[in-house]
Structure 1
Amino acid sequence: MKKKVALMATARKKSKETAPVIEFYQSPLFKKSVQYALENYDTLYFYNAKDGLLLPDTVMAPYDVSIRTFSNQQRRKWGEKVVKAFCQYEKPDQIQLYLHGGNIYRKYLEPVLHERGFTFEIPLKGLGIGQQLKWYDKKLKGLKE
């Protein structure tokens, strides 16, 4: 059976203090996505505009960088950087990959992941933020019952 791996977006709302990734990002959506991922996946990886790929215990310091300010070329290079780093940890034939995060990021990750032979699912594809929060609430409630 293949290992279940999540590749997850971070969040705009951040701590003012240095902290590990899963504590540093503060948005309700991020917190719910982490809670869900910890219950459902074997391994978690995160990504942000500033650093690219992040491991859950990566210690973050406050910063202000957004992919929205990148040119299309910078975004493509960013996607290649994230996937190249991801490939140092995971191989396409050994995992089932799940992408969590907005289209602005996925648009530059998905083609590179395909090129590298990864297949993946996008559990919240097409859902707005409010719908995503409800999706996580429903899934997390189901885990507790």
Structure 2
Amino acid sequence: MTRVAFVSCVKTKSETPELAEHLYVSPWFRMAREYARRNAERWFILSAEHGLLDPRTMVEPYETTLNRMMIEDRKRWASHVAWQMEDLGVKGDLAFVLAGERYREFLMNRLAIRFDTVKIPMKGLQMGEQLSWMKNTLGDHQR
């Protein structure tokens, strides 16, 4: 079974260039990254600035967010991510999406084409509930 996880970027970032997996420094992102590592063979960051971002890519800090983008820009972003998935051959049996509604809204249909099953483990949970869910799911063995 091929499992791929998608983790959204977050506002809190390092002030210096870092590998993408280390650029985002919030507790939410660190736990989502760990969930992705444990539950998928591949994982990617859904970056408002870069689209689909390989965690091992060196990245400069940025301030772009989908939350402030107009709807047409969010549609273009989702098309760009879909093109990147095609280019990188990202597809499989199961996709996990750890991202808010703005990051999912125009991406879900595109993921459904590339994956047999798409799961949103924290759908409908508020931020505090998401943190609690990840903490309980990951247990005491967080990296």
What's the TM-score once normalised by structure 2's chain length?
0.90
Query: Within 1, Cα distance between the matches of 2:10 and 2:87?
Result: 24
Query: Within 1, Cα distance between the matches of 2:89 and 2:120?
Result: 18
The aligned counterpart of 2:125 is: 127
The aligned counterpart of 1:103 is: 101
Gaps of 5+ in 2: none
Q: After alignment, is 79-88 or 48-57 more displaced? A: 79-88
> Identity of counterpart residues, as a percentage?
28
Q: In the TM superposition, what are the counterparts of 1:1-145 in structure 2 within 5 Å?
A: 2-90=1-89, 92=91, 94-114=92-112, 116-118=113-115, 119-141=117-139
Gaps of 5+ in 1: none
SS at 2:139's partner residue?
Answer: helix
SS at 1:85's partner residue?
Answer: helix
How far did residue 142 of structure 1 move? Answer: 7.0
SS at 1:31's partner residue?
Answer: helix
Distance 1:143 1:95, change over 3 A: farther
Which aligned segments of 4 or more residues in structure 1 are displaced greater than 2 angstroms?
87-92, 111-114, 116-119
**Which residue identity does 2:124 align to in structure 1?**
G
Q: Choose between structure 1 and 2: higher helix proportion.
A: 1
Query: Within 2, Cα distance between the matches of 1:76 and 1:68?
Result: 13
Query: Within 2, Cα distance between the matches of 1:103 and 1:83?
Result: 17
**Which residue identity does 1:139 align to in structure 2?**
T
What's the TM-score once normalised by structure 1's chain length?
0.89
